[in-house]
Amino acid sequence: MTSTVVVGGFFGDEGKGKIISYLAIKDNPKIIVRGGAGPNAGHTIRDGDKVYKVRMLPSGFLNKDAKVMIGPGVVINPDILKKEIQDFNVSGRSFIDKQCGIIEETHLTRDSKGELKEKIGSTGSGTGPANADRAMRVLKLAKDIDSLSALVIDVPQAINSALSANENILVEGTQGTFLSLWHGTYPFVTSKDVTASGICADVGLGPTKVDEVIVVFKSYVTRVGTGPLENELSLEEAEKKGWSEFGTVTGRQRRAANFDFNLARRAIMLNGATQICITKLDVLFPDCASKNSFDDLSKDAKAFIKNIESELHTPVTIIGTGPDIIDVIDRRN
């Protein structure tokens, strides 16, 4: 029995979707369950010549033997959810908790204009207004929507029963530590806590049931939208380094900066990390592209990883070396 929680260490965009997909196949969990705010998060997954952009389902759906679930703390857009279930061919093994909140048209309207959109660059997904309505106790829940009845189960009961039966569970966080409503760069944050403890609460996993917490950092820092970004590079500098990227949900260009050890230390503390994953090492060190062995990395790339371990006092166990889910160095065994 192992429960592994995966969360982002910076401002989202760390490559969690790829890592979740890799772990879903490698570790073969019985259940992959998603916490987080809602469809304002987006994960991109590359499997060979196929590219998936996911906003609602857990990114580990590529494991066809696993059940994929959304915890009660998440607000869902039924239209997006149903489309992903159909497009990704996961009917019959996709489930949502009865307590999931429902994003309605009024939430989309409120989120697409006004202060949230103008001040903090909201994604317009309706997630923030829906979570606000939940706090006011007026939000509809999944159990209230007849068209969702075939998907509705008790997710906390399902995952805890699986753990009691010595099955593996993979818990997927969304966004990043410093977008947390409690711990992020307020007010430029999401509408709830997205650190490991918040994600576990979202899915109904108690603290004593958590075995591993993997915090994912990209080899450099990126951020979509407004809000502080220490030592931010100009767009020209970012493009010169090959760090020009665009958000999965909004399509907006990501701002970029060098790896931030101060943020990383705080993320390790806030999440209680037991392991670190570093993604996009190949962008910093192109000669490391698609490598699957630490021994095959260049001297500079090895030094970069070892410095992170030394500074953060946490082992780097998984390293992303390319965009595909198989472009991974797994040092856990």
Q: Is 107 a catalytic residue?
A: no
CA neighbor of 142 nearest in space, from 204, 68, 71: 71
The catalytic position among 27, 43, 193, 327 is 43
Q: Is 47 a catalytic residue?
A: no
> How far apart (Å, rounded) are the C-alpha atoms in residues 11 and 8?
7
The catalytic position among 13, 97, 282, 327 is 13
Q: Give the contacts of 261 (CB within 8 A, at least 6 positions apart).
A: 311, 312
> Residues with catalytic annotation?
13, 43
